[in-house]
Structure 1
Amino acid sequence: MSWLYLGIAVIFEVAVGMAAGQAQGFTKLSWTIGTLVSGAIATFFLSLALLTFDVGIGYALWTSLAGVGVVIIGALLLSQRLTWKKLLGIAVVIAGVVGLNLAGTA
């Protein structure tokens, strides 16, 4: 169940990144509210996941996977360029997440 909670937390953290980008320094009220509400939901589900995960592992998984998600969504929906350097960075992050997960279970 903790993986489900973590997945939900990641989805809402991606929403935080996307909404914050549209909030224009918190000058757009609806996007600001979306950022804050998404952040609260993401943090709530992260806290549930951390009942099982070590804090360092859970937080690293959450932020890393959300960061990759924001880059991918930005490329798919916002016409942001996905260069080979970004792809390499994503691969390194994923390798790190796998490594942390394996280290957390040993």
Structure 2
Amino acid sequence: MIAWVYLGVAVIFEITVALAAGKAKGFTDARWTAATLLSGAIATYFLGLALLTFDVGVGYSIWTSVAGVGIVLLGAVFFNERLSLKKLCGIAMVIGGVIGLHLSGAA
């Protein structure tokens, strides 16, 4: 169960990486650049802890997939990015894939 907590923390910080990188203006804004790098380090650390339990392929796939969905949704909120029907269908497919990985008995 703790592996899921570690993976959840890794996802949150991976989402933070993307949002901070979006604000870093090509890494010309020092504060957002630092936030991007620090968040990336924290995300990777917690992913590593989760991978002590999860199979690498499954854990990494869940991490990137769930973070990707979060980034798309938060991009709509913070960057006024459009959520089209195609994006929503893609999100649904990713969620289905994550459920499938979880049901595979990986952790």
What range describes the TM-score normalised by the shorter chain of this pair?
A: over 0.9
Q: What are the equivalent positions in structure 2 for 1:7-26 lying under 5 Å apart?
A: 7-26=8-27
Give the aligned CA root-mean-square deviation in angstroms. Answer: 1.2
Gaps of 5+ in 2: none
Q: Does 1:53 align with 2:46?
A: no
Partner amino acid, structure 2, of 1:69: G
Gaps of 5+ in 1: none
Q: Residue deviations 1:47-84, cap 9 Å, x none?
A: 11001000000000000000000000011222111110
Q: Does 1:42 align with 2:43?
A: yes
Deviation at 1:105, TM superposition (A): 3.8
Runs of 4+ displaced beyond 2 Å: none
Q: Matched residue of 1:82: which SS?
A: coil
Q: Matched residue of 1:52: which SS?
A: coil
Whole-Å Cα distance in 2 between the matches of residues 88 and 5 of structure 1? 28
Deviation at 1:104, TM superposition (A): 3.6
Question: Are the counterparts in 1 of residues 14 and 43 from structure 2 also a CA contact under 8 Å?
Answer: yes
Whole-Å Cα distance in 2 between the matches of residues 45 and 12 of structure 1? 9
Q: Residue deviations 1:16-75, cap 9 Å, x none?
A: 000111112211111110000000000000011001000000000000000000000011
Q: Matched residues, percent identical? A: 63
TM-score under structure 1 normalisation?
0.95
Partner amino acid, structure 2, of 1:39: G
Partner amino acid, structure 2, of 1:91: A
